[in-house]
Amino acid sequence: MTGEFGDTAEAFPDHSAEPPAGVTAAIIVAGCYLAAQILSDICSLRIITVIHLSMDAGTIIYPLTFTLRDLVHKTAGLRAARVMIVLAAFVNLFMAGLFWLVARLPADVSVGPQTAFGQVLSPVWRIVIASIAAEVLSELLDTEAYRFWVARVSHRKQWMRVLFSNSISIPVDSLLFCWLAFGGVYTDAVVWSIVLSNILLKMACTVVSVPLIYTVRPGRGES
């Protein structure tokens, strides 16, 4: 139908149409990245031992963020990856501030003191700042390493771009976070133990998660 307002199909586009497959994949992997970042920051409030090595519990899930970042880079491009990294930092900072506020608001006395919330989730600001600083710097470094590999080395052997970028960013992330968060709080031996366990677990997770890079198609913006 046409008329005074031109073609009806153009004036009233069909918003029920399915988005391109690449957009859907980018949304999914970006959502998984943000979720992993949030969960890892919450879990980092607890120190655990694995095979006699000390580590923050966030290390269980955080390593996935490096490969997920690579997936976003592949599907949505360099700019989208950078925006997502900065957005994750703001989300984590907002989350910590919200937990701090909720923990300090007066509890409903009819329910009880509800002190467990504050004891578990009230942020340790040194850990929060250390975590966000390490995440932003290492993930941006991961972005540049990934871009370098694709632009200067090869578009083939996608598993190599993941291993290359992660092998550079993971040690930087572990050193920054552990020493900013725990330096002077624990003995040097404990901090180095946390650094070592972080690097080993993150690299192991990288190797396991490498096949994920083949689950998405490259977008137009990949660089």
Tell me the mean pLDDT in the region 156-184: 92
**The whole model's pTM is what?**
0.81
| Nearest by Cα to 90 from 27, 37, 143 | 37
Burial of 106 (0-12, 13-18, 19+ CB in 10 A): exposed
What single DSSP character describes residue 52? T
Q: How many CB atoms lie within 10 A of CB 39?
A: 17
Q: What is the mean pLDDT of the chain?
A: 85
Q: How many CB atoms lie within 10 A of CB 218?
A: 15
Query: What residue ranges do the domains of the chain occupy?
Result: 21-51+58-215
**Residue-wise pLDDT tens digits, 7-29:** 555 554 555 555 565 788 889 99
Query: Which residues, listed in sequence order, are joined to residue 47 by a DSSP beta bridge?
Result: 56
Long-range contacts, 137-140 (Cβ 8 Å, 24+): 137/172, 137/173, 137/176, 138/66, 138/169, 138/170, 138/172, 138/173, 138/176, 139/65, 139/66, 139/69, 139/85, 139/88, 139/169, 139/173, 140/82, 140/85
> Which residues are CB-contacts of 189 (< 8 A; sequence separation ≥ 6)?
none
4 pLDDT tier (thresholds 50, 70, 90) = low
Please determine, for residue 34, whether its predicted confidence score (pLDDT) is greater than 90: yes
What does the DSSP assignment read for 137-194?
HHHHHHHHHHHHIIIII-SS-HHHHHHHHHHHHHHHHHHHHHHHHHBTTB-HHHHHHH
222 pLDDT tier (thresholds 50, 70, 90) = low
Query: Which residues, listed in sequence order, are joined to residue 48 by a DSSP beta bridge?
Result: 55
pLDDT at 94: 94
Chain centroid to CA 62: how far? 7
Range scoring the smallest mean pLDDT among 119-128, 168-177, 205-214:
119-128
